[in-house]
Structures are given as C-alpha cells and as structure tokens.
Amino acid sequence: MANPFVHVELSADDVAAAKKFYKSVFDWKLTDMPAMNWTGIDVGGGVGGGMGPKQMPGQPTTWTAYVGVDDVKKTLAKAQKAGAQIIVPYMPVGEMGALGVFVDPQGATLGVWQTFAPPKQTAPKKAAAKKAAAPKKAAAKKAAAPKKAAAPKKAAGRKK
C-alpha cells in the first residue's frame, strides 16, 4: 500500500476561535459533530481533516498530519522499534477506522490512520435481491417468447 497523507487535525484550547479564524481565511465547510466533540473540515478537494480540543495536558496547539496505513498496530510497533514514542496507542474510531499517534526521534508528531473495510453484504440480502429479481426476469422472458397458436378444439361428438 502507498502511504499518503490522508487527514490533518488541529488540537486547540479554543476550538470556537479556531473555527472562526479558519472560516474567515479559507472556503472550508465545517461540520460540527457534538457527540464526538469534534468538527470536520471539508476543504473541497484534497486532504480534509478536523478540529477538536486538546486531548492531554501540556499538548501544544498544533496541526497533526495522518498517514494512511494497512495496520495501525503494526505501524506503531515499527515506529517504536525505530525510536518513536507512542503517545496515542491503537484507538478505534467507531466503524470508520483506527488511529495512533507517535513522536519521532526528532520530536515531530505524526498520526497513522487505518480505514476499516465497509461491511460485506450478507448472503440473505443477496438471496432476497435475487428472489425479488426472479419474477421480473420470468415476466420479461415470457413477454419475449413467441406466442403459440392455440390448439384447435375437438368437435363434440353427436349422439344419434
């Protein structure tokens, strides 16, 4: 897998002020998600992101970039072996995916993101769809078939 940058996120003390500032500077569409205490950023093309409050004491106000990976746990283990400090271990994010964050040996923070595969359609749904399509196919086949002439009726025999 390629490992592109897939998301950027701002952690701030005053998210409302950050939203006001960035909305005045850029044409971003901001979508509040109160249940997550987070605001999504749709930049209109390219890599989008989000904004939220700082997650730990002493965390700087900063943008963190996230890189797409196949497996967050394996990537964090590789980063740690190479000298990184893990600051956010593997963390699932609903059914969307999982993330992790580390600080590299030079002091730079980087996040990793794993997108979960969408759920596969189950067999019962496929069978139901196939069953629903069967009458339509039969009707179309019947309509396309040439019509047969009706067999002549036998004359009723006369009694004498």
Q: What is the pTM of this model?
A: 0.71
Q: How far apart are CA 99 and CA 69, in angstroms?
A: 9
Through-space distance between the first and last CA atoms of the chain, rounded to whole angstroms: 94
| pLDDT of 160 | 45
Q: How far apart are CA 105 and CA 122, in angstroms?
A: 46
Q: Which residues pair with 10 in a beta bridge?
A: 51, 63
Identify the segments of the chain with pLDDT beneath 50.
150, 152, 158-160
Tens digits of residue pLDDT in 46-85: 999 999 999 888 889 999 999 999 999 999 999 999 999 9
